[in-house]
Structure 1
Amino acid sequence: MGQGNLDNHNAFAVLVLAAGASRRMGCAKALLPVGSDTLLGHAIVQARLLGGPVTVVAGGWYPLVRYRCRSQPSAWVVARDWQEGMSASLKTGVASLGPRVKGVFVVLLDQPLIPSNAMLALAKVARMTPTQPVAADLQGKPGAPAYIPRRLWPEIMALEGDRGAAAVLARHGATRLAMPGAGSDVDVPEDWRRINGELAEQS
């Protein structure tokens, strides 16, 4: 990879948020088998499609999830206050990024039904307008996966509790993309069984 391509690669970071306790699942959700991988491993593979260095933000179940994850990211960071909710892991991830990063993609642990072409489309749109937020269209509202330009990071760092970036993205008129599968996440065992069945049908 040439220096110019390397600089462009490093300018767009990717965070995989995987810090939750998975209380509703009753086990380490990140380690659930999905296809030939785990849920977290699948999310890391998805995240790599966005084209930047991938950082996993962990918390609950760390370091177990790190040592049992076959697909390793570029880096791991641990949200010490992960029990405070999604905002804590998001802020920890953003705070870990270097000064030359133009923006960050945020990927959730539990959206394995999003196809590769949708992730590639998100990456392309974000790079075309790197100061404009971009997000999955979830019934007319912005959601994850999403791209958050650096200019919005101060508002991300001000979030509290179990809140993600949706309100910030909406306030700044994020470009919304149709991303099949973004509305299907894994919260309870029934979700995992249903999504595994759908993945089996696709393979």
Structure 2
Amino acid sequence: MTGIIILAAGASTRMGKPKQQLIYEQKTLLQRSIDAALGISNAIVYVVLGANAEVIKLTIEHLPVNIIYNDDWESGMSSSIKAGITALSAYPDVDDALLMLCDQPFVDAALLKQLIGLKTSAPSYIIACGYSDTIGVPALFSKNHFSQLLALTGNEGAKKLLMQQQSTVITLPFIQGSIDIDTPDDLKRLKKGQL
């Protein structure tokens, strides 16, 4: 079984309001991420919340996802990854973890299925997306990488592990992966189709 962890705990300081709640094509960015995750059958989905958790929770609590509260979200992204991996580790049937963000508007279920499909032919490898001359999330990690994810600190994200383990990473090209929404200008350009 695949565990999907949507990292949505940040304070969106550059946006000035919770970007999880921003609307694009009639859905919030977080809803779009959740829809992509729920498009994977036989997966367990976790959403990690932190800043503005009570407000955001109201918009997703009716969905078939598990909500995790990361009280330590201010210490950086690693704390949200740890919260998700710790929750997944309670399930013996979970073989791997797919990490994704809530602000990549072009991630969809088809992309996630491609990542999982690549994993079946190379189970010991990390499967990551490639964009803008780098590798990043969404990325799929097998259970034997959980301890390394739990060892991340501060604002370190999955990219640190991806760069350390490049020889065991299979890259799926995803040009639109470089598009994430951090500022009001990003949102304007997205809505105008300029990203």
Report the counterpart of residue 8 of structure 1 in structure 2. none
State the AA in 1 paired with 2:179. Answer: S
> How many aligned positions are there?
190
Shift of 1:131: 2.4
State the AA in 1 paired with 2:25. Answer: G
| Among candidates 49, 71, 78, match of residue 58 of structure 1 | 49
Percent sequence identity is: 28
- Structure 1: runs of 5+ lacking an equivalent: 1-10
Shift of 1:100: 2.4
TM-score scaled by length of structure 1: 0.86
| Among candidates 58, 63, 66, match of residue 72 of structure 1 | 63
Deviations 1:59-84 (A, max 9, x none): 00112101023872421001110001
CA RMSD of aligned residues (A): 2.0
Q: Does residue 138 of the first structure (1) align with residue 131 of the second (2)?
A: yes
Deviations 1:10-29 (A, max 9, x none): x1110100000011111111
Structure 1 contact 41–72 (Cα < 8 Å) conserved: no
TM-score scaled by length of structure 2: 0.90
Distance in 2 of aligned mates of 1:71 and 1:163: 31
Q: From the superposition, tell whether residues 46 and 16 of structure 1 become closer, same or farther in structure 2 (CA, over 3 Å).
A: same
Q: Does residue 91 of the first structure (1) align with residue 86 of the second (2)?
A: no
Distance in 1 of aligned mates of 2:101 and 2:120: 20
Report the counterpart of residue 31 of structure 1 in structure 2. 21
- Structure 2: runs of 5+ lacking an equivalent: none
Distance in 2 of aligned mates of 1:39 and 1:181: 15
Shift of 1:167: 2.0
Q: From the superposition, tell whether residues 106 and 71 of structure 1 become closer, same or farther in structure 2 (CA, over 3 Å).
A: farther
1:34-45 equivalences under 5 Å are: 34-45=24-35
Q: From the superposition, tell whether residues 57 and 152 of structure 1 become closer, same or farther in structure 2 (CA, over 3 Å).
A: same
Q: Does residue 101 of the first structure (1) align with residue 91 of the second (2)?
A: no
